[in-house]
Amino acid sequence: MKDPVGVHEALWEDAVFLGWQPTPAGTAFSLYNIILKSHPSYHSTVTERTLRKLGLKIPPTPAPPPRDSRTFAMTINTDTVPSSSLTSTK
């Protein structure tokens, strides 16, 4: 049974979009958090390619920001990630 986290309980998705990770080449790739509780990679942050390899559904993903945008940086949507995942346990 699927058991998503946070405000996405009604979506019943395999993963949620987290944000865009820029690369040194000036491109970006999308990052997702696996929220399928029964999956061995539950709570892992992965790329779209990894989701496809794992046979998981790709959630809705917005277009990346323009390359010349000041906001072209990875931004994690805190409403899609459990707060415990955002804090260091060191």
Residue spans per domain, the chain: 6-80
Span 25-61, pLDDT tens digits:
878 899 999 998 889 998 899 999 999 999 999 998 9
Span 4-34, pLDDT tens digits:
455 555 457 899 999 998 888 878 899 999 9
CB within 8 Å of 57: residues ≥ 6 apart: 13, 14, 15, 51
Q: Is the pTM of this model over 0.85?
A: no
Position 4 scores a pLDDT of: 47
In degrees and rounded to multiples of 5, residue 58 shows phi and psi of -85, 120
Task: Name the DSSP letter for residue 8.
Answer: G
User: Cβ-count burial of 32 within 10 angstroms (0-12 exposed, 13-18 middle, 19+ buried)?
Assistant: buried
